Every structure is written in C-alpha cells, then in structure tokens.
Amino acid sequence: MSEAMYKKDDTVADGRTDRQTDRQTDRQTDRQTDRQTDRQTDRQTDRQTDRQTDRQTDRQTDRQTDRQTDRQTDRQTDRQTDRQTDRQTDRQTDIFLSRECE
C-alpha cells in the first residue's frame, strides 16, 4: 500500500475516534447535567417542603398555644370572679345579719 492510502485509513480511523469521543463526552456531560439538575431540584423541593411544614407547624402550635392560653385565662378569670362574688356575698350577708341583730 502506498503512504497516501495509510494516511487515508488513519484519517477515517481518526474520524471514527473523534465521533466516539464526542459521543462519550456528550453522554458524560448529559449525566453530569442530569445529576446536577436532580440535586438542585431535590434541594429546592426539600426547602419548599420544609418551609410549608414549618408554617403548618407554627400555625398549629400557635392555635394550640392560643387555646391553652384562653382556657387558662378563662379559668383564672372565673376563679377571681367567683372569689370576688363570694366575698361580696359574705359582706352583704354579714351586713344584713348585723342589722337584724340590732
């Protein structure tokens, strides 16, 4: 074979090698891009889910705390009112009885 034929064969082989290398590089790039995109999507999804969960938890906690506070306040108010009413009733009874005894 002549030297020109060897060069032609080398060129064809180089072309195949270049295409294979390009395909391999493209596949690797695609895989890396997919992985990176998946990671970013997962992070965003996690953040969004965490925010929503935090908001729901905060709302629920706030509601429960408000209910407990309201109940406690109502109990205390009722107790104070009852005590005050009892004192007033006792005073009035004492006054009434003291007047009758006179």
Task: List, for residues 36-47, the tens digit of each pLDDT value.
Answer: 999 999 999 999
Residue 57 in domain = yes
Q: What is the pTM of this model?
A: 0.49
Residue 33 in domain = yes
Residue 15 in domain = yes
pLDDT of residue 29: 95
Q: What is the C-alpha separation between 35 and 39, in angstroms, rounded?
A: 6
Residue 80 in domain = no
Q: Which domain holds residue 65?
A: 1-74
Residue 89 in domain = no
* Residue ranges in the chain whose pLDDT is less than 70: 1-15, 102
pLDDT of residue 18: 82
- Looking up tokens 């060129």 gives 11
Domain count, the chain: 1
Residue 82 in domain = no
pLDDT of residue 4: 52
Burial class of residue 87, CB neighbours in 10 A (0-12, 13-18, 19+): exposed
